[in-house]
Structures are given as C-alpha cells and as structure tokens.
Amino acid sequence: GQNIDQPTEMTATEGAIVQINCTYQTSGFNGLFWYQQHAGEAPTFLSYNVLDGLEEKGRFSSFLSRSKGYSYLLLKELQMKDSASYLCAVSSNRDDKIIFGKGTRLHILP
C-alpha cells in the first residue's frame, strides 16, 4: 500500500523561510506532487518531481530523494497569503491514482 506522512501544522513568520517535509512509502513510484489549498477552496498545483533533486519555481522549491522516500517543499520570503494547507501527493505506476497526504496547515505570523 501507500503511506504519506507530513506534519499536521507549522507556524512561520512573514518574510522568513519554511520547509515542509513529506515522507512516503509506495510501490512503483511515479512522481510526487505538492499542492496548495486555501480554506474552502480546491487545491492548486505547485510542483511535480519525478527525478531526484531540487526544482525551483519562484519563491517555491521542491526537493525529492527517491532512495529515501523523502521530499520537501521550501517556501521563501513568506507572505501572509501563503497561509494555507500544503498537500504532498504521490503517484504510482500501478494505477491511475494520486494519493494525498493529510496536508500541513501553515500559519504565517506578521
């Protein structure tokens, strides 16, 4: 089966940097996604990693280590609008599905 772990909540300060970790166990790993979800809204796509290494996209970066079953999402220059849940999700080549973690609620303090 698949298992995804990420912290339930984190708090950071506006302007700072925060790293949200995700560990996973799956067979037939076929990619890892990060989504952002504001309260009451649907998730929006942030990043996709299928190879080891760091993918940078503006203030957000995502890292993957397949051998360790580990990923992190790095958010720089935090803004108040970054307060949201961040969902780690894993795709397996055994089926069509993406399985989501429970999400990390990030609180940004002024």
Nearer to another protein, 14 or 52 (CB): 52
Q: Which residues have C-beta within 8 Å of that of residue 95, sequence separation ≥ 6?
A: none
> Which residues lie near another protein (CB under 8 A)?
30-31, 33, 35, 40-45, 48, 87, 91, 96-103
What's the min distance (Å) between Cβ of 15 and another protein?
27
Residue 49 vs residues 14, 16, 39, 77, 80: alpha-carbon distances, Å: 27, 24, 25, 22, 26
Q: Using an 8 Å Cβ cutoff, are 103 and 7 in contact? A: no
What's the min distance (Å) between Cβ of 34 and another protein?
11
Nearer to another protein, 13 or 26 (CB): 26
Nearer to another protein, 97 or 107 (CB): 97
What's the min distance (Å) between Cβ of 29 and another protein?
11
The token pair at 17 is: 């940097």
Q: Which residues have C-beta within 8 Å of that of residue 84, sequence separation ≥ 6?
A: 36, 37, 38, 39, 105, 106
Nearer to another protein, 48 or 60 (CB): 48
